[in-house]
Amino acid sequence: MDHVVNRVHSIIYEWRSILGMVIWDVIAGAAFICLLYLALMNMESTLTRTGVMLLAVALILLSIAAKYLLYYGKMRRDDVTGGWNKKEFERVSDRLLKGEGEFVVVYANVDRFKLINDAYGDDVGDAVLKEIHQVIDAEMLRWDEVSGRIMADNFGMMMRFLSMKKLEHRLSRINEQLALLEDSEGIKYGIKMYFGVYQVEDRNEPVSTMLEKANLALKKVIQSPQHLVHMGVYDEKERELLSREKSLETKMERALKNGEFVPFLQPKYELVNETIGGAEALVRWFDPVEGMIGPNEFIPLFEKNGFVVELDLYMFEQVCKILERWKKKGYRNVPISVNMSRGHFTIPGFFDRYLEILSRYDVPKNSIEIELTESLFYNEMSMLNDLINQIHEAGMRCSIDDFGSGYSSLNMLKDVRVDALKLDRVFFKEAVDDQRGKSVVNSVLHLAQELDLKTISEGVEIRSQVDYLKEMDCDYIQGFIFARPMSVADFEKIAFAGAQSSAS
């Protein structure tokens, strides 16, 4: 019932301007008929009088009808392009979907259209949009396809689907045509479109939802590095991932305030005597509803949305707190490393916040090691060296994390004065029986030793790898073979077993 009432409301809303005009037209028409009647009152022939009256009524009704048909036609049109507007595009699409065959909804956006508006002004911008519409519309080859302008420089298309290859071909053809558009002096505008594609599965879904899905696929293209592809296809799994990310995003700040992010410690074992010689602080999110969430689920998201900066600082402070407590308890000195993501590098002077936190705790500063991810070392060398100097000036240490997971070269090691090198677990995924793999590990360890860097092998799970790394004089192992990341309380139990009773 509610549904019907809402529908009636929306129809009245949509048609209220027309209804208003109809009322005025009817009043004016009726007044005219009355006047005509008065004027013809004295006419002799009743037949002629009735004929004239009927003719007048018919003409008035016809003109009113013609006016509204024209008005209705205009209501469905987009002012700028002259094509269908969003509402009409959705209405026609809805009708087309009742037919046979497969369809895709395409959401298209003009690349950097703002530049055209800025360079040529809005009027030319509008004219270009009209031309773009014409190019797109010319590609709607079949009677059962439709396009329309959704908003600004975004167009929607409901197209027949035969294969992705064919679709891609058709969309490229649109871009080829758009590339030819030129201004009055024959200079090409350089127009190109990006397309998000949603292959229609549930035809009963509102077309507006289909457009949203196609738009999601488009966003993926626009966010892709260098926009190498011009077309992206909607994928249900990605949508789930996106909605998962949204739900994490809505609660991340509150979670940080509520202390839901907790540092776990994974021991680093010194290889000479296989005892704990350090630890890495790894974040875990304890959500009151979901329970524990692993960093692989939220760190990449926080790296995208920038929140990782806050989280890293929080983790850094937690590490300071832990080390201060250990010092007060008289535990032996066990260094802790903490990750620093590349997100900080966009913030000038970001390291001051680290220094400010450090100044508030009474900690052995050289027990803190900052892990810088390998990918930082690709192109930000001078900034990086400045940071490394600052870390050292503050009395802390630093290491290259995940070395070997990317494309950094061994050569780069000589240019950065880090204290330690963490070999990524990619080196230890394969069994070490593989001679070539062994040679690579061997040469990395060798070079690191020559440069006086401590070496830590991450992700070691097999005993034979431990023995081999020992032979190669690797300093530490951080891997499941010895221990997984654990709560601070558990770590204290195994790291300070003897000291527990005497120190507490």
Binding status of residue 501 toward ligand C2E by CB under 6 A: no
Neighbours of 496 (CB within 10 A): 20
- Tokens 């994974």 found at: 266
- Shortest Å distance, C-beta 305 to Mg ion: 20
Binding status of residue 199 toward Mg ion by CB under 5 A: no
Of residues 189 and 427, the one with the C-beta less far from Mg ion: 427
Q: Indicate which of ligand C2E, Mg ion, none lies near residue 137 (CB less than 5 to 8 Å, by partner kind).
A: none
Which of 36, 167, 187 has its CA nearest to residue 116? 187
Helix or strand run (H / E) with residue 292: strand 291-293
**CA 128 to each of CA 120, 132, 403: distance values in angstroms, whole numbers, following the listed order:** 10, 6, 50
Binding status of residue 308 toward ligand C2E by CB under 6 A: yes
- Shortest Å distance, C-beta 286 to ligand C2E: 14
Among 153, 401, 419, 492, binds Mg ion (CB under 5 A): 401
- Shortest Å distance, C-beta 209 to ligand C2E: 35
Q: Indicate which of Mg ion, ligand C2E, none lies near residue 250 (CB less than 5 to 8 Å, by partner kind).
A: none
- Shortest Å distance, C-beta 89 to ligand C2E: 44
**3-state SS, residue 202:** coil
Do the beta carbons of residue 220 and residue 198 sit within 8 Å?
Answer: no
Binding status of residue 282 toward ligand C2E by CB under 6 A: yes
The region of 182-190, 289-297, 362-370, 493-501 touching ligand C2E under the rule CB under 6 A is 289-297
Question: What b-and-e string marks burial along 15-42, b requiring 16 or more CB atoms within 10 Å of the CB?
Answer: eeeeeeeeeebeeebeeeeeebeeebee
**3-state SS, residue 279:** strand
Binding status of residue 315 toward ligand C2E by CB under 6 A: yes
Do the beta carbons of residue 188 and residue 181 sit within 8 Å?
Answer: yes
Window 457-496: contact mask with Mg ion (x via CB under 5 A) = -x--------------------------------------
Binding status of residue 252 toward ligand C2E by CB under 6 A: no
- Shortest Å distance, C-beta 281 to ligand C2E: 6
Do the beta carbons of residue 425 and residue 441 sit within 8 Å?
Answer: no
Q: Indicate which of Mg ion, ligand C2E, none lies near residue 413 (CB less than 5 to 8 Å, by partner kind).
A: none
**3-state SS, residue 189:** coil
Binding status of residue 461 toward ligand C2E by CB under 6 A: yes
- Shortest Å distance, C-beta 306 to ligand C2E: 12
Neighbours of 437 (CB within 10 A): 16
The region of 17-25, 244-252, 427-435, 450-458 touching Mg ion under the rule CB under 5 A is 450-458
Binding status of residue 479 toward ligand C2E by CB under 6 A: yes
Binding status of residue 24 toward ligand C2E by CB under 6 A: no
Sort strands 420-423 and 291-293 into parallel, antiparallel or unpaired.
Answer: unpaired
Do the beta carbons of residue 480 and residue 486 sit within 8 Å?
Answer: no
- Tokens 């192109």 found at: 379
Distance CA 182, CA 197 (A): 27
The region of 110-118, 149-157, 310-318, 466-474 touching ligand C2E under the rule CB under 6 A is 310-318
- Shortest Å distance, C-beta 410 to ligand C2E: 19
Of residues 78 and 401, the one with the C-beta less far from Mg ion: 401
For every residue of 75-104, DSSP letters joined together read HHB-TTTSSB-HHHHHHHHHHHTTSSS-EE
The neighbouring-strand residues paired with 13 are: none
User: Which residues 402-421 are close enough to bind Mg ion by CB under 5 A?
Assistant: 402
User: Which residues 354-413 are close enough to bind ligand C2E by CB under 6 A?
Assistant: 401-402
The region of 94-102, 205-213, 290-298, 384-392 touching ligand C2E under the rule CB under 6 A is 290-298
- Shortest Å distance, C-beta 318 to Mg ion: 15
- Shortest Å distance, C-beta 436 to Mg ion: 23
Number of residues forming the site for Mg ion (CB under 5 A): 5
Do the beta carbons of residue 133 and residue 121 sit within 8 Å?
Answer: no
Q: Give the chain's length.
A: 504
- Within 8 A by CB and 6+ apart from 329, the residues are 499, 503, 504
Cα–chain-centroid distance for residue 294? 20
The single-letter DSSP state of residue 142 is S
Among 90, 137, 369, 371, binds Mg ion (CB under 5 A): 371
Of residues 36 and 486, the one with the C-beta less far from ligand C2E: 486
Q: Indicate which of Mg ion, ligand C2E, none lies near residue 308 (CB less than 5 to 8 Å, by partner kind).
A: ligand C2E
Distance CA 228, CA 443 (A): 37
Of residues 200 and 441, the one with the C-beta less far from Mg ion: 441
Do the beta carbons of residue 14 and residue 8 sit within 8 Å?
Answer: no
- Shortest Å distance, C-beta 282 to ligand C2E: 4
Q: What is the CA radius of gyration of the chain?
A: 35
Residues within the interface to ligand C2E (CB under 6 A):
266, 282-283, 294-296, 299, 308, 311-312, 315, 339, 341, 401-402, 425, 458-461, 478-480, 485
Residues within the interface to Mg ion (CB under 5 A):
339, 371, 401-402, 458
